[in-house]
Amino acid sequence: MTFAAATSAAATSAALAPAAATSASAASAFAAAAPAGTTSVAATLLLTAPVAAALATAAGYAVLGWRPATAWAGLVSPATILGCAVVLAVRVPGHGPVTGYGGLARADALSAWILLVIGAVAVLACAASPAYLAAENAAGHTDARGARRYGILVHAFLAAMAVAVLVANLGVLWVAIEATTIVTAFLVGHRRTRASVEAAWKYVVICSAGIALAFLGTILIYYAARQAGISEASALDWPVLVARAHELDPDVTRMGIALVILGFGAKAGLVPLHAWLPDAHSQAPAPVSALMSGVLLAVSFTAILRYKVIADVALGPGFARTLLAGAAVLTLALAAALLLGQRDYKRMLAYSSMEHMSLIALGAATGTRLAISAVLLHIAGHGLAKSVAFCSSGHILHLRHTTRIGRVRGLLSQAPVLAAAFGLAVLALLGFPPFSLFASELAIARAGFTGPAGLGWATAAALVLVLAAFAAMTARTAHMLLGPAPGQNGGAAATLVQKDTPVQKDGAAVAVPVHDGGTTTAMPDQDAATAMPARHGGGIAAAPVQDGGTAVTVPVRFGAAVWVPLAVGLAACAALGVSDVPLSSLLSTAAAITGGP
């Protein structure tokens, strides 16, 4: 962020610079506690457990269904993923990559970092799920069958992402990322409204076709590797390809890398195949949007980072840099333009994801070690902040039955805790300290200006566009949070509005029970019809009515199941911004894998 330029570079280096001294920190103390000479059994267990736990949880939901007793069992698989990620994070920086299954599965520092992010975001999303599904159930948008399917698919989704992070074979990596598309298709379309069916269709068609191009790219790299004399078994093996990248035929590799960046870029929300993203992220259930935006984009981008290492050796650093910087600036321009006119808060968050992914792509294009560690920190900070933002947007949807920004006003006085969580998450996404996105955005910009020649202009353009997006998101969020609460007359005490209150033509208090708000998001006629009486009623907005006739009190209070995940997510994002010392050795090792000098 430009406003942050005043802050001295010292702040950034304190937060980011891979200081050698920090490697002798708590991390290595844990490493000593971890099993000393990790046997191959322990390594296999470490690489299997994240996937196995997620699949087992999915199977458990298939058998038992989603009920109050099993709702919280969904935390088992994210907790396992997080636990394995922590052990890997402690072990890998000192002892090198962990491998298993004859080299098919492999976890290096980059895998450990991304697995850590997957685990953290998945814990938040799965902790937010019971409250979200209970509200969906109460509103009649889903039933026991729908909830069971949700449980199965969410955990299968986590398993697919864990596989994508933990494999060394680039072909299997592709299979896992395509599997995430298939698994999430029905999650996007779970409400079965016209809008969500449309979003699901676009999602599957654009992502499958886009990622098919990445497979063509993978085949071309395989062809180049085979012609370079690498054996069939290891020609798609990432470590082998990196070690022998200089032997690959440059022309074939160039085509392959271009297709791979185009294809995985589609799943990472980069132009030109980005059109599915705002639709899918706005229609999916809020915790799934959190997972898709917070980690799936990052997992796909990690695939690009892996190929970039091969490309940098085989073709020189210029080729991937040009493609990534071009995609980054175009995506950012598109996201900023659409944020300026945005009227739907879930789509606003989706375009904000594209904004952040393009910053990540810009950092990757820069490619220095500082830039890559900023990119990885940005991935983590964005994952945490965006999952809080999406999860709270789900509760806002349940409270107000609409996703239109224009019809959400006075959230801060109606539901202070929820509004505070949403507001803080948006502040984090805008890059305010103490959240970690402040440090990482600053470092990406700094690396862009001091890094390789030619990126200065791209970085400058990106900063201008980020500023436009900043202004748009600030104005939209302020509109949602501030103002008088619905049901309040000029700040007076809450009026209880019964569901069966007849709608008065020009009375003082007009209650408009809005039932099926989620489906009305994109229907202007219905929208106008419900908004109209509120305007006639002397500024008293429509009052949402929950749970069949129960009155809504102001302020609305939420149980711990709602606010604890949000608070934990925000605290984690802030903690990461204040100090990443416990993670710095992992971060610097991971940055060294993909980063240049």
Partner 1 sequence: MSTGTYTQLLDLACGVFLLAAVLVLWRRELTAFVRLFAVQGVALAAIAALSGIHEHRFELLAVAVGILVLRAGVLPYLMRRVLATSGETRETEPLVNVAASLLTAAALTLLAYAAARPLVELAPSPATRALPVGLAVVLIGFFTLVTRRRALAQAVGFLLLDNGITAVAFLATSGVPPIVELGVSFDVLLAVLVLQILTTRIHATFGGTDIDDLRELHD
DSSP for 85-153, written as a single string: HHHHHHHHHHH--EEEGGGTEEE-HHHHHHHHHHHHHHHHHHHHHHHHHHHHHHHTS--HHHHHHHHHH
Q: Which stretch binds partner 1 (CB under 8 A): 26-34, 127-135, 151-159, 215-223?
A: 215-223
Whole-number minimum distance, CB 443 to partner 1, in Å? 31
Contact call for residue 150 and partner 1 (CB under 8 A): no
Residues 9-48 that bind partner 1 (CB under 8 A): none
Give, as ranges, the residues between 469 and 488 that touch partner 1 (CB under 8 A): none
Kindly report the CA angle at 78 between 346 and 370, in degrees rounded to 5? 75
Phi, psi of 160, deg, nearest 5: -60, -40
- For residues 278 and 487, which CB has a smaller minimum distance to partner 1 in the complex? 278
**What type of residue is 350?**
A
Stretch that binds partner 1, among 211-219, 320-328, 475-483, 489-497 (CB under 8 A): 211-219
Q: Is 193 in the site for partner 1 (CB under 8 A)?
A: yes
Answer yes or no whether residue 223 interacts with partner 1 by CB under 8 A: yes
User: By rule CB under 8 A, what string of x and - marks binding of each residue 522-541 to partner 1?
Assistant: x-------------------
Candidate segments 60-68, 226-234, 393-401, 524-532, binder of partner 1 by CB under 8 A: 226-234
Which of 283, 573, 590 shows the shortest CA–CA distance to 440? 573
Tell me how long the chain is: 597
171 sits near partner 1 (criterion: CB under 8 A): yes
- Residue 186: both structure tokens together: 């029905």
Contacting residue, 251, 318, 474, 535, with partner 1 by CB under 8 A: 251
- 342 touching partner 1, by CB under 8 A: yes
The residue type of 413 is: S
Contact in structure between 186 and 202 (CB atoms under 8 Å): no
> Does 202 help bind partner 1 (rule: CB under 8 A)?
yes
The tokens 């698919």 sit on which residue?
153
Nearer to partner 1, 87 or 211 (CB): 211
Cα–Cα distance for residue pair 44/102, rounded to 1 Å: 10
- Residues numbered 259-278 forming contacts with partner 1, rule: CB under 8 A: 278
State both tokens at 275: 């059109």
Stretch that binds partner 1, among 177-185, 418-426, 500-508, 550-558 (CB under 8 A): 177-185
Given the complex with partner 1, which of 67 and 194 has the nearer CB atom? Answer: 194
Q: Does 312 bind partner 1 (CB under 8 A)?
A: no
Assess contact for 91 and 34: CB atoms under 8 A. Answer: yes
The packing angle between helices 26-33 and 584-594, to 10°, is: 90
206 CB-near residues (< 8 Å, 6+ apart): 266, 273, 275, 276
Using CB under 8 A as the criterion, which residues of the chain lie in contact with partner 1 when the complex forms? 104, 169, 171-172, 174-175, 178-179, 181-182, 185-186, 189, 192-195, 197-202, 204-205, 208-209, 212, 215-216, 218-220, 222-224, 226-227, 232-233, 235-236, 249, 251-252, 255, 278-279, 282-283, 338, 341-342, 347, 522
